[in-house]
Amino acid sequence: MELFPRKQNRMGIMNDELKIIDAITRIHDRAGLVRHGRSEVPCGVNLAETHCIDRIGSIEYANVTKLAAALEMTRGAISKICKKLLCKGLIESFQREDNQKEIYFRLTEGGVRVFEEHEKSHAQAVREKMAMLGAYTPDELSIISRFLSDMNRLSYRKLAAQAESDPNMIDDAR
């Protein structure tokens, strides 16, 4: 007999719920790219740029290598996105005194506004999806999670195929 079955069960549900939300979000993001070729969010910043801003705001000493790993994109794609963000004045580059070789990025005031707006909209989306998922049992959530993972892989393959015919799309692929 479990000492805290409800807590352990709820933690299991939470893990599945978060996996489902992540899968839904990625499917939704990619669906817009497949339909429209580009995805814009408020402030004239595209989805890839928004996610890059989010990681720069979240990663200590964010550089191209760390951002590429966090966003599962190539360093070349990250460099291109960061150049756009630098031109838009949403990030700035700097070097640490103890490492003059590496270039790091931080958010400007405008970048912080985009970061905070993204955080708010993301938190709202999570709340809405969590409320919806509360109606499902742990077994149902596990099935949904597996299904959405499969759907996500499918949409990613479709997006990759589209990117082969339109190389500029790869910038917005994540």
SS3 for 74-139, per residue?
Answer: CHHHHHHHHHHHHHCCCEEEEEECCEEEEEEEEECHHHHHHHHHHHHHHHHHHHHHHHHHCCCCHH
Q: Considering Cα of 18, then 42, then 30, then 32, what sign does the dihedral take? A: positive
Domain count, the chain: 2
145 and 60 part of one domain: no
96 and 126 part of one domain: yes
Q: When comparing pLDDT for 17 and 132, which is higher? A: 132
- pTM for the model: 0.64
Domain holding 150, by residue range, is: 136-169
Is 8 part of any domain? no
Q: For tokens 């799309």, name the residue.
A: 169
What's the whole-number average pLDDT of the chain? 80
92 and 146 part of one domain: no
Q: Comparing C-alpha atoms, which of 53, 39, 44 is closest to residue 82?
A: 53
User: Do 17 and 142 contact (CB within 8 A), yes or no?
Assistant: no
131 and 152 part of one domain: no
User: Do 30 and 139 contact (CB within 8 A), yes or no?
Assistant: no
CATH at 83: 1.10.10.10
For 64-97, the pLDDT digits (tens) are: 999 999 988 889 999 999 999 999 999 999 999 9
- Rounded to 10 degrees, the C-alpha dihedral 43/47/50/56 comes to -160
For 94-130, the pLDDT digits (tens) are: 999 998 899 999 999 999 999 999 899 888 888 988 9
Tokens read off for 119: 């955080």
pLDDT over 70 at 3, yes or no: no
Alpha-carbon distances of 92 from 19, 87, 95, 112, 113, rounded to whole Å: 33, 9, 10, 12, 14
